[in-house]
Structure 1
């Protein structure tokens, strides 16, 4: 009986110490480092601006918003419960892509250019906040026409909200859809 007590007590003490280290201390240290070094990102990268004399939160830089109005830049399709891992050459995926192609043609019948693939396929997360510059360029004429402004003005706004490759080599340039749409509406953000 005493042999069991000698094994159980150190096991329980060891468990409690490790639980304290990994569950409490580690969590507070990581949260503290995040708050000190990456405060904006650690708090959700919320895009804020001033409206009616008060600070307004418009959304996160890293989470898409559903824009479907023709006067806005429209991002990738939302997940909407559809699996993002469908067979890329399967009938179900082909039907979804065709449905989205039809939607784009209905939205902008004057645009005869090829629709960039990203505008008809869901991203891995299902809520991608960014599109490629090609996806944004595809929509420039429609946005300018709907808003009654020049295409160059729309391109300037898109360029101002385009992030280049990290360190000049990693990834691809991306356009933040929410930031572009806020700029199109004349909303100044922080």
Structure 2
């Protein structure tokens, strides 16, 4: 009985070392070697190397010179990474209809002649979706161009450069990362107040 207990304890200890320590260390090391930026959270830096956010988590941008993300129900003010969640409102919920209606009304004032993309009026499921559709980004191009005193074609070109295509051409949908695009706009076309 004692010899079987010893063998069982030794086997458990071995597997704890192999699968609980060795395997995680090997995977972490391989990720650091092969994809260090992604393994460290896809962090984006600004002036002076200061971290401004992660390309994987949405941030709230409300100023007119920036691309706006999808709406968020994460936390009391939205975009709270510690409180990721959707609104849990069903398609027949009057609160959802009111929210979509008020958002659509505000967007029609911004760009009355364009069709409003669905992801511009609906919240992200997690509340932290960092991407929007190319249609949503194009819908916002005129506002951004006006706020930055740029031709619309320049903003559209920045959006086109930031548009990511489906993996292998068929996995997923084309999408635009909001933070990456806003960083590119700031880098390539700084606002008048921030120009040297």
TM interval, shorter chain, is: 0.7 to 0.9
| Contact 2:37/2:43 (8 A) holds in 1 | yes
| Contact 2:70/2:119 (8 A) holds in 1 | yes
SS of structure 2 residue aligned to 1:186? helix
How big is each residue's C-alpha offset from its partner over 1:100-134, in whole Å with a ceiling of 9 and x where there is no partner? 3344346x2x5343321111222233211111110
Between Structure 1 and Structure 2, how many residues are aligned?
A: 180
Partner residue in 1 for 2:120: 119
Partner residue in 2 for 1:70: 64
Unaligned runs of 5+ residues in structure 2 are 76-84, 190-196
> d(CA) in 2 for partners of 1:38 and 1:45?
10
**RMSD, matched Cα:** 2.2
Unaligned runs of 5+ residues in structure 1 are none
Structure 1 residues 93, 6: CA separation in 2 closer, same or farther (over 3 Å shift)? Answer: farther
Partner residue in 1 for 2:175: 174
Structure 1 residues 124, 168: CA separation in 2 closer, same or farther (over 3 Å shift)? Answer: same
SS of structure 2 residue aligned to 1:165? coil
In our comparison, the structure showing a higher alpha carbon Rg is 1
- TM-score normalised by the chain length of structure 1: 0.83
Partner residue in 2 for 1:41: 38
- TM-score normalised by the chain length of structure 2: 0.81
How big is each residue's C-alpha offset from its partner over 1:136-168, in whole Å with a ceiling of 9 and x where there is no partner? 111111111222211101101111111122122
